[in-house]
């Protein structure tokens, strides 16, 4: 069951262990209200099992879990299914593995490319899970287009993106728990310039489109905004009142692909842990 504003310690008595203090949520629900909520659920559970023979989750819990499941779907959580990582560039539509990330395919690539000059052009992405460092077989983003300059008719720019989700490894020397969500997504996307050129914009400028320094930061901001938009008013208020605020900063540009592949998303936080700041490592390349 899920109770808004509660932590695991909301149903406990006594002093929490160091492990719980280090890993538990910051509760906004009072201890008394936590006991009442838990007692209500347990009484309902006993009655449902003993009398009715089955138990149904409360509506609030279902709504909350739906958000988590939607986030896992958008990410393409490896804990739900393994990534396909087929030898071919485009992974198969296989029910036993994950082809790619819905977030990258449906949101990130179009946001990254920005508004195309010709309203008749549609950008369609196909995202595929492959390790960014894999050299055999080597997987790279690609573009194809049936657009013609000044044709004034509907056309499609087809884009292939490559994504690798990165997950924390268990740290035996730390009290902190290992999150199941991806800590970062390493995505290979064609340059904004090349996408606009494929859309018929022959004079698309690399410096103007790709070297603003915040291309990846916009995607980080969008992911935080997505989470905030899904949160209930109670959860969002708790996050703003007692949570660690998520902030972003401009991209950190790299010029070497080998270094970019192993460079993790940069995180930093203040001494009081009132905020955590994220910075993407980017590798903008002209005409690629």
Confidence of residue 204 (pLDDT cuts 50, 70, 90): very high
Question: Residue 164 above 90 pLDDT?
Answer: yes
In the prediction, which pLDDT does 15 show? Answer: 84
Quote the mean pLDDT of the chain: 90
Question: Residue 202 above 80 pLDDT?
Answer: yes
Confidence of residue 5 (pLDDT cuts 50, 70, 90): confident
Give percent above pLDDT 90 in the chain. Answer: 58
Question: Residue 173 above 70 pLDDT?
Answer: no
| Sequence spans of domains, the chain | 8-56, 102-282
For the segment 250-278, the average pLDDT, to the nearest whole number, is: 92
Q: Which residue has the higher pLDDT, 249 or 261?
A: 249
In the prediction, which pLDDT does 273 show? Answer: 87
Confidence of residue 157 (pLDDT cuts 50, 70, 90): very high
pTM to 2 decimals? 0.87
Question: Residue 174 above 70 pLDDT?
Answer: no
SS3 per-residue string spanning the chain: CCCCCCCHHHHCCCCCCHHHHHHCCCCCCCHHHHHHHHHHHHHHHHHHHHHHCCCCCCHHHHHHHHHHHHHHHHHCCCCCCCECCCCCCCCCCCCCCECCCHHHHHHHHHHHHCCCCCCCEEEEEEEEECCCCCECCECCCEEEECCCCCCCCCEEEEEEEEEEEECCCCCCCCCCCCCCCCCEEEEECCCHHHHHHHCCCCCCCHHHHHCCCCHHHHHHHHHHHHHHHHCCHHHHHHHHHHCCEEEECCCEECCCHHHHHHCCCEEEECCCCCEEEEECEECCCCCC
């Amino acid at each position: 069951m899920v109770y808004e504003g509660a932590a695991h310690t909301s149903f406990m008595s006594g002093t929490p262990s160091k492990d719980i203090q280090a890993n538990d949520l910051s509760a906004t629900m009072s201890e008394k209200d936590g006991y009442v909520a838990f007692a209500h659920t347990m009484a309902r559970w006993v009655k449902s099992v003993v009398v009715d023979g089955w138990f149904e989750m409360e509506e609030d819990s279902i709504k909350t879990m739906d958000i988590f499941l939607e986030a896992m779907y958008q990410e393409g959580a490896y804990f739900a299914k393994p990534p396909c990582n087929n030898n071919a560039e485009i992974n198969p539509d296989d029910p036993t593995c994950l082809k790619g990330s819905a977030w990258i395919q449906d949101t990130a690539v179009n946001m990254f490319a920005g508004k195309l000059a010709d309203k008749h052009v549609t950008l369609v992405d196909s995202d595929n899970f492959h390790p960014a460092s894999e050299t055999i077989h080597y997987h790279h983003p690609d573009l194809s287009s049936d657009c013609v300059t000044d044709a004034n008719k509907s056309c499609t720019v087809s884009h292939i993106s490559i994504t690798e989700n990165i997950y924390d490894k268990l740290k035996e020397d730390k009290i902190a728990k290992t999150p199941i969500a991806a800590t970062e997504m390493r995505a290979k996307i064609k340059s904004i310039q090349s996408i606009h050129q494929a859309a018929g914009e022959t004079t698309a400028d690399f410096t103007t489109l790709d070297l603003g320094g915040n291309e990846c930061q916009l995607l980080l901001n969008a992911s935080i905004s997505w989470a905030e938009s899904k949160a209930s008013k109670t959860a969002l208020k708790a996050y703003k009142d007692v949570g660690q605020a998520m902030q972003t900063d401009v991209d950190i540009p790299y010029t070497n692909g080998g270094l970019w592949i192993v460079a993790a998303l940069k995180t930093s936080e203040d001494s009081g842990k009132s905020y955590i700041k994220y910075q993407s490592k980017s590798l903008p390349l002209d005409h690629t």
